Amino acid sequence: MVVLGGVTRLTGSGLSMVDWRPVVGWLPPLAESEWRSSFEMYQQSPEFQKVNSHMDLEGYKGIFWLEYLHRLLGRLIGIAFLVPFIVFVARGYIGRNEWPRYLLMFCLGGMQGVLGWYMVKSGLVDNPHVSQYRLTAHLIAAFLIYAYMFWVALGLLYPAAGHYRHPFYRRTVVLTSLIAVTIVSGGFVAGLKAGKIYNSFPMMGEFWIPPGLMALEPGWRNFFDNMTTVQFDHRLLAITTFVCTVLYWWSARKAALPARARKASNALLHTAVLQVALGIATLLLAVPIALGAAHQAVAMLLFTAAIYLTFSLRPGQAGE
């Protein structure tokens, strides 16, 4: 779902559906008349009028399908969650005391759909680009929902036994938090299309510290609205995260980590190397769709490895 959302953004398909029908919007246009009606609605949008005025019906179908599939997959995820949940509750596999955690997952998924439409609406006004704030919020919510589900799943697979907490637990939480902040900064890069400028590495053009980092007033806006600052921050955070990951792995080699945590530490390093390579390649090639989507996908893998590592060292797990 996250990867498809990234592809939708990278291909400029996210604003192709200008209405939201969460209950009855399952079917795409089927007849030619339905396609023309949908296209006419799109023609009233700022994106068509200011960016895609040359587009014909066939071109519209090309951008429509990705956004449609993204929304359809969201609905299918809801069904794939809710139906088994009801069955498991009815058969007593899920106790009453566990209902809240699963109902929270379902509610968060529904709210993510609402947040997605709130994001799209920001691009249906005068400026045919979604707000980087709303896009990043949508990305954060996706990662948080995933993290919550994954954490609950790990708790079922590996029930807590005891209260011992490994000494590496605290630094693992810090590293995981740093990875999360770096991912959030990537959301602002994506929202502002900041990867399209300064397509060189390690310098940004001819500069180590480019001009105009604090060009906007008030100063805090530069960290969210200034393309140069947003890209600079993401580079700095990414390099810092990578160095910290290498240092963590090196020190973990000498520590008495549990077997699962040691494997997770190795996976974290390997994934971090891949992510840095993908990030640099994506930047140098000015964000081709395949590399941009892969960079977002591997960010999720890196986040997964960090969560798994954190869980493996938490109280009740560190002895295994």
What's the pLDDT at 58? 92
Residue 165 DSSP SS3? coil
Amino acid 167 reads P
Q: What is the DSSP string of 203-248?
A: SBTTBSS-TTTT-SSSGGGHHHH-HHHHHHHHHHHHHHHHHHHHHH
Q: Is the dihedral of CA 298, 304, 307, 310 positive or negative?
A: negative
Residue 311 DSSP SS3? helix
Query: Tens digit of pLDDT for each residue in 206-253?
Result: 999 999 999 999 999 999 999 999 999 999 999 999 999 999 999 999
Burial of 232 (0-12, 13-18, 19+ CB in 10 A): buried
What's the pLDDT at 242? 98
What's the pLDDT at 319? 55
What's the pLDDT at 320? 54
Residue 312's nearest CA partner among 157, 116, 141 is 157
Q: Do residues 313 and 166 lie in contact, with contact meaning Cβ atoms separated by under 8 Å?
A: yes
Please list the ranges in the chain whose pLDDT falls under 70. Answer: 23-24, 318-320
* CA distance linking residue 31 with residue 35, whole number of Å: 6
